[in-house]
Amino acid sequence: MSPALPTLLTYTLHPTPLPAGGRGALRITVANRRATPVTCDSVTFTLPVGSAPSDCATTHDAEFRAVDESRWRLRSDDSAKDSASFTATPTEPLAPGERHTFEISGIAVGEQAGTARLRITELARGDGEAPRTAVQARPVRKLTADLVLSDFTPDHAAVGHDGTVVLSWTCTPPPAADYVLYYGDNQSVEVNGDIDANGNGRWTSPPLDTTTAFLIQQSSTSGGDVVQHTLTTAVTVTNPDMEVGNLSVNGTTSLLGAVQQFDAVKDLPLTRTAPTDGFLHGYIKTTDSGSPATLQIAITAPGADAPLPSISVQSTDPAGGDKNQDGRVFTPVPAGAHIQATAACDAVYSGQLVWVPLGTGALAG
pLDDT higher than threshold 90 for residue 157? no
CATH numeric code, 149-237: 2.60.40.10
DSSP bridge partners of 13: 28
**Contact predicate 284/336, CB 8 Å:** no
Looking at per-residue confidence, does 346 or 116 come out higher?
116
Residue 49 identity: V
Q: Model confidence at 3, in pLDDT bands (50, 70, 90)?
A: low
Task: Write out pLDDT tens, residues 270-303.
Answer: 999 998 888 898 888 887 766 778 888 888 888 7
The CATH homologous superfamily to which domain 10-144 belongs is Uncharacterised protein YcnI-like PF07987, DUF1775 (2.60.40.2230)
**Contact predicate 358/277, CB 8 Å:** yes
**Contact predicate 288/347, CB 8 Å:** yes
Q: Pick the closest to residue 18 from 113, 151, 160 (CA basis).
A: 113
Q: Do domains 149-237 and 260-357 have the same CATH topology?
A: no
* Beta-strand relationship, 327-333 and 260-263: unpaired
- Rg from Cα positions in the chain: 22
Residues 307, 337: Cα–Cα separation, whole Å: 9
Domain-wise residue ranges, the chain: 10-144, 149-237, 260-357
According to the CATH classification, is domain 260-357 in 3.20.20?
no
pLDDT at 44: 96
**Contact predicate 321/256, CB 8 Å:** no
Q: Model confidence at 320, in pLDDT bands (50, 70, 90)?
A: very low
pLDDT at 233: 87
Q: Pick the closest to residue 300 from 273, 327, 324 (CA basis).
A: 273
* Beta-strand relationship, 132-144 and 18-20: parallel
Residues 149, 179: Cα–Cα separation, whole Å: 10
pLDDT at 257: 72
| Residue 213: exposure state from Cβ atoms within 10 A (0-12, 13-18, ≥19) | exposed
- The DSSP string of 280-323 is EEEEEEES-TTS--EEEEEEE-TT-SSPPPPEEEE-BPPTT-SS
pLDDT at 180: 94
pLDDT at 122: 95
